[in-house]
Amino acid sequence: MTWFIFSLLSILFWSGSDLFSKMGSKPDDTYSHWKMVMAVGLVMGLHGIYMVATGTPFHLGDIITYLPASLLYILAMVLGYVGLRYIELSVSSPICNSSGAVAALLCFIFLKQAMTGLQLLAVGLICLAVLLLSLLEKRQDDAARQLRQQVANVKYQKSFIAILFPILYCLIDGLGTFADAMLLDVAIAEEQANIAYEFTFLFMAICAFIYVVIIKKQKIRLWDEKPKMAAALVETAGQFTYIFAIGANAVVAAPLISSYCVFSVLWSRLFLKEKLNWKYYAVIGLAVIGIAILGME
């Protein structure tokens, strides 16, 4: 059951990260995604340094060992941050988090990780809920979509790019989770993998700083970037709990954690005023049932 507790914590932290990331992603700021990378990389790097300083065993070679998963995750996150400039959180998050189904399928087929019948049912409910959320948005007419955006006081252009970034996130993040399942406890332990990922993200943050501040001469006002820093804090906390959940039970934990988009949708309704109809909440109920079943197994 430890994996389930870590999974629930990851859901809580990462749904909060979705909310704060969206709050910090301004449609008119072409560098907002790189600023998010700077914030997340800084916090993760500090956490990694703390872990090493307090005695967690770590070698520089661990960064290379875990690099395939690190690069996939970071690339997915950068694309996700770009996408938040073009699309609502209540639409983007469910599409992005279909990656759990991608990862579970890869683990089931290639790693031969088993699921009980009840777990398979629960995973199916969660994946179905994520899929239905995406379909609901696709079928919603333009008038309803515009009304929802007016309530949230934000206007987005409907374009191929708006959907492309979440889809790319889904595929790449699913591959990252699959790489996790292959590497954890075989090539690297959870704590070392987490630190390696955090130091890789810190390196990316330094590169982003050089590009945005030194090359592009953009000014960073920390007071204006509070949502990005909040997103970085809960993203780091979620990554810490996620790595242990995946290491203990990847085939079930991956789709369970991906259901954090359900709560992202709720936060978008409560705090961003992205209005949803009853169909959305019915689909959210399916995912909650799936989470409850996994928790009892």
> Tens digits of per-residue pLDDT, 184-193?
868 999 899 9
240 within 8 A of 195, measured Cβ to Cβ: no
Q: Which amino acid is at 151?
A: V
58 within 8 A of 195, measured Cβ to Cβ: yes
Q: What is the pLDDT of residue 169?
A: 92
Average pLDDT over residues 270-277: 80
pLDDT band at 289 (very low <50, low <70, confident <90, very high): confident
Alpha carbon 74 to its chain centroid, in Å, reads 10
Q: What is the pLDDT of residue 147?
A: 57
- What is the C-alpha to C-alpha distance for residues 52 and 127, in angstroms, rounded to an integer? 37
Residue 262, CA atoms < 13 Å, CB-side half-sphere: 29
Mean pLDDT, all residues of the chain: 84
Structural tokens at position 37: 């990378």
Average pLDDT over residues 135-143: 64
Phi, psi of 79 (to 5 degrees): -65, -40
65 within 8 A of 188, measured Cβ to Cβ: yes
Of 10-24, 121-135, 222-236, which range is least confident? 121-135
- What is the C-alpha to C-alpha distance for residues 108 and 105, in angstroms, rounded to an integer? 5
Query: Among residues 249, 227, 259, 247, which one has the least CA distance to residue 11?
Result: 259
Q: Which residue has the higher pLDDT, 84 or 148?
A: 84
DSSP type of residue 266: H
Q: What is the pLDDT of residue 70?
A: 96
Query: Among residues 26, 69, 20, 23, which one has the least CA distance to residue 198?
Result: 69
The owner of tokens 């749904």 is 15
Number of domains in the chain: 1
96 within 8 A of 231, measured Cβ to Cβ: no
95 within 8 A of 166, measured Cβ to Cβ: yes
Q: What is the pLDDT of residue 226?
A: 92
Q: What is the pLDDT of residue 129?
A: 82
- State the pTM of this model: 0.82
Of 5-9, 49-53, 247-251, which range is least confident? 247-251
pLDDT band at 80 (very low <50, low <70, confident <90, very high): very high
Q: How many CB atoms lie within 10 A of CB 98?
A: 24
Q: What is the pLDDT of residue 155?
A: 52
257, 19, 95, 99: CA torsion to nearest 10: -30
Residue 20, CA atoms < 13 Å, CB-side half-sphere: 22
pLDDT band at 144 (very low <50, low <70, confident <90, very high): low
> Which residues span the domain enclosing 39?
1-296
Residue 200, CA atoms < 13 Å, CB-side half-sphere: 21
Structural tokens at position 65: 């060992």
Q: What is the pLDDT of residue 180?
A: 86
94 within 8 A of 180, measured Cβ to Cβ: no
> Looking at the predicted structure, is the pLDDT value of residue 171 above 80?
yes
> Looking at the predicted structure, is the pLDDT value of residue 82 above 80?
yes
Beta bridge partners of 184: 188
Q: What is the pLDDT of residue 12?
A: 93
pLDDT band at 120 (very low <50, low <70, confident <90, very high): confident
- What is the C-alpha to C-alpha distance for residues 154 and 122, in angstroms, rounded to an integer? 35
pLDDT band at 154 (very low <50, low <70, confident <90, very high): low
> Looking at the predicted structure, is the pLDDT value of residue 156 above 80?
no
127 within 8 A of 98, measured Cβ to Cβ: yes
> Looking at the predicted structure, is the pLDDT value of residue 277 above 80?
no
Q: Which amino acid is at 147?
A: L
